[in-house]
Chains A and B, each alone.
Chain A
Amino acid sequence: METQQLEQIAVQVRRDILRMVHAVNSGHPGGSLGCTDLFVALYFDVLRLKRDDQGKVIFDMDGRDEDLFFLSNGHISPVWYSVLARAGYFPVSELSTFRKIDSRLQGHPATAEHLPGIRIASGSLGQGLSAACGAALAKRLNGDDKHVYVLMGDGEQQEGQVWEAASFAPHHKLGNLTAIIDLNHQQIDGPTDLVMNNRDLGEKYRAFGWNVTDMKGNDLADVLRTLHESKNDSEVPTLILMHTEMGYGVDFMMGSHKWHGVAPNDEQLATALNQLPITISDLKDY
């Protein structure tokens, strides 16, 4: 898809995120806004998804012969839900049920409600890279040449399990795996450097045996180029350090941990939406 078209979708997705968290006065807008360009690039360009004759996406849990995406830092569910809906996995109108009772759109992504597009629960941090390793292994065992992507947070790198999986993927030569870290340098309690310094994540992953590359996460052209290139190594997994700004697209939310898990009030929502003019259509329900 043309970069310009993707940029228009990204604006609409950012509107969805803000309106979803505002409607229930809860959720995580900061990381969602920062990762919007990645999700749009993945679902509207990079991922080779299963489709029917009309080109509509089809979901099955096994996900054979298609690229797979896993979200490890599940709290940025608003961006995933918006992009899944906009990509056709479920009706856009369902976004209005986010975090409400009897919804398939749980606060953190879950399979229990059978929401198309989601293959494993996440929210308790540190587990997604392991699951992606397993899915990549299954693809190899099945002779399936498609690719597996997983997104993690940078604060999440403080979880020990991440490093168990970081050892596992190169050891088992999972070249069909691309891991992405949302490097926004923020976590709930403050800047990552102050809460628990991750130091040089790139050097760490290189030492564990990964290909490591940088990507400007809020520059769609760079995102597209880097994601496509990451598929080229057949034996070595690739780690992408995705440099983003938390809250990207809304000036007063950008670059601060304060919007990690806080919803905008009515006035703040109006101000934010003014900075993101409608490109497709808003939900009618709220």
Chain B
Amino acid sequence: MKKYTYTDKKDTRSGFGAGILELGRTNPNVVALTADLAGSLKLEGFIKEFPDRFIQCGISEANMIGVSAGLTIGGKIPFATTFANFATGRVYDQIRQSVAYSGKNVKICASHAGLTLGEDGATHQILEDLGMMKMLPNMTVITPCDYNQTKAATIAIADYQGPVYLRFGRPVIPIFTPADQKFEIGKALMLNEGPDVSIFATGHLVWEAIQAGEKLAEEGIEAEIINIHTIKPLDEEAILTSVRKTRCAVSAEEHQLNGGLGDSIAQTLARNYPAPLEMIGVHDSFGESGTPAQLMQKYGLTADKIVEAAKRAMERRV
């Protein structure tokens, strides 16, 4: 197992804040919007340097999505920001009609996704957003795994023409991807090559997958670990190439099993190369209050659970 180390830990939302500040300096068409969550989205740097390109919408997410769509008419590249819950479920129809169906170049940037939002509880912990967004035609869906990758993804989506959903979060987690790694939309990243089992992880679960890979290696199992940062378009080639070799797979995500990454991988495998797939995610349930670590433990989104899933997948291999 390839060794992954880290020297620093940060939240992925801060990677977004750093990315949009850099975009402010390099792309005059980039504008940032928020619905009363500028601090939570780490927009302070952008606001300070580019006050005229920051648009405060107040607590009105539906309007923010519509204003964003309108801003693209005139060539602006709007980054609409709020918590993932309010950026998707609350405004699904606005995104559907005014952004996705209309093919507008809006970047929906969503923080505090998933269980790791923590103490605020289930009202704020959306676990369905990837499913909703990936079902929309024209929508690109991205879940970067750490600070560096979130920054790189933020910068990359400004150059892509079309609607994007970029999902990140609140907890402080290890920074293990290189700061200079270019972000390529739709291109899965190989983290460790191995013949025994494929582990496909996204977002915060990528670090857990690396930890799981180390534990498996101690038992003589060499897992192939792949970071699927883009849920849609899915890198089917990377997935199939890996599973054709290992003949079994695990998916891991901070999301409902319904509609998430595992769901997309299951479709890909069923259509092309049926093989056992164990899925780590939330089982048709809302979240609850607690610390992020407690919640990830309680809902089974940990390295240990990935290890167990990998072994089950290998046993089911035919």
Contacts and interface: CB of A to CB of B under 8 A. Distances in A.
Interface of A: 61-64, 68, 70, 110-112, 119-124, 126-139, 141-142, 144, 160-161, 164-165, 167-168, 171-172
A123 B65 CA distance: 16
A120 B104 CA distance: 8
Contacts of A111: 101-103
Given A64-B74, A141-B52, A167-B58, A134 B102 contact: no
Contacts of B31: 141
Most buried by A among B58, B74, B98: B74
Contacts of B101: 110-112, 121
Contact of A138 (B60, B74, B102): B74
B75 A121 contact: no
A136 B67 CA distance: 9
Interface string B54-75: 0101101011111111111111
A163 to B, nearest CB: 9
Contact of A130 (B53, B70, B102): B70
Contacts of B62: 126-127, 130, 160-161, 164
B65 A130 contact: yes
B97 interface: yes
Contact of B75 (A133, A142, A165): A142
Interface residues of B, number: 32
Given A160-B62, A168-B60, A139 B93 contact: no
A124 B97 contact: yes
Contact of A161 (B63, B68, B72): B63
Given A130-B65, A138-B72, 15 more contacts: A111-B103, A120-B98, A121-B98, A121-B101, A127-B94, A127-B98, A130-B62, A130-B69, A132-B70, A137-B67, A141-B53, A160-B62, A164-B62, A168-B58, A172-B55
Nearest to A165: B63
Contacts, number: 122
A64 B58 CA distance: 27
Nearest to A148: B70
B76 interface: yes
6 contacts: A111-B101, A120-B69, A120-B98, A130-B66, A133-B63, A161-B94
B78 interface: yes
Closest 7 CB pairs of A and B: A134-B70, A130-B66, A138-B74, A164-B60, A164-B63, A134-B67, A131-B70
A105 to B, nearest CB: 16
A134 B73 contact: yes
Contacts of A142: 74-75
Nearest to A72: B66
